[in-house]
Structure 1
């Protein structure tokens, strides 16, 4: 069964929490006065898999795709999991290059060398530059009526998660597999600059079935090998 309520959240970044959760980076977003939280995985909690996520960032986003994003209204938009629209698929969208992904630690001493650093740099730039917009692709939760958000304390709780590849999972997470339902972030700045962030778990494989999103060899899912350029800056 694919992830539930797959779609994209469009809004303005109003806050962020770097160290409130070791496994995630939390981003507060306002969309026409409605508050949402984006929970971005930076670490795998799977006991038998490497904890570092595979990551890539790119500013090469097709103009037609950007134009379609810009036409969206603020807030959450449900997306059909099929080609030709806004739904992301790391394997089937030719402008996403999974072979360029490399393993990046969630946090470590130093500058611009871990996932929290990279997310924080993009978030900070969006906060400083008025008119910036973030698009978060994933699975929506809420609104949670009488329940405040656990991190930012707004009411009702509301947000989006699964901001990572949602196919090629093995046992335990196979139920989340599907095509054209991958997560990610796109930051758009008023100076015309755009940056897309893509995340995957090392326990996932990019060799997936075109209908189910399951690993082609479901009995022995292949692990992705991190790039040998692991200590170099990403594009």
Structure 2
């Protein structure tokens, strides 16, 4: 089923960013990126490490082919709902031509993805964060793969294609480029059917 509150992308500039403090973090601590848009500041929360046996995996793509992301890059700053299909600009880690068959997935170790995120946020001109909007207030969560969860698990109800969350970074200096940092939980399958269920 699709994400309960829908799916979309917030585009803007980075206002500030930080990792949750140890006394407020949960099982999968969040990295907060507050994104400035004409509508206000969007709080975007991203799982970059795990306090459980279910670890997080990540993929970084250092030079995305911009033509595959024209539908997103051409949008103005703000929040944009996206249809869960290949034409809207939505992400699908398995099916998107700009993402599939790029780099490999690697395991997080508690600090490596946090350091990587901080490095990507330096000098970024514009940021695009994909995921599920908050039901109240301005914010985005579920900024990770949203398909491939084992049938019968508590997250299986959110399995669907073309609704994966992720972060894209647009730079002007020292050269124009587009990068991405994507995450998933290690139990999520990278082989799914047309309903996003593991095969």
Matches within 5 A, 1:181-220: 181-191=163-173, 192-210=176-194, 212-216=195-199
Q: Specify which of 109, 112, 121 is matched with residue 105 of structure 1.
A: 109
In the other structure, the counterpart of 1:5 is: 6
Q: Which residue of 1 aligns with 2:81?
A: 78
> CA shift at 1:125, angstroms?
2.7
Instruction: State the TM-score, normalizing by the size of structure 2.
Output: 0.87
- List alignment gaps of at least 5 residues for structure 1: 108-113, 127-131, 145-156, 217-235
Q: Which runs of 5+ in 2 are unaligned?
A: none
Residues 193-215 of structure 1 show CA distances to partners (whole Å, capped at 9, x for unaligned) of 221111110011111112x1011
Alpha-carbon shift at residue 73 of structure 1 (Å): 1.6
* Cα separation, partners in 2 of 1:33 and 1:158, compared to 1, 3 Å: closer
Give CA deviations for 1:37-94 in whole Å, capped at 9, x if unaligned.
110111346x5x432x111111332222343222112111000101133111111113
RMSD: 1.8
**Richer in strand (by share):** 2
How many residues are matched?
A: 188
Contact 1:61 1:95 (C-alpha < 8 Å) held by counterparts:
yes
Computing the radius of gyration from Cα coordinates, the structure with the larger value is 1
Q: How much has 1:11 moved relative to structure 2?
A: 0.7
Choose the corresponding residue for 1:123, options 118, 121, 124.
121
CA distance in 2, matches of 1:38, 1:65: 24
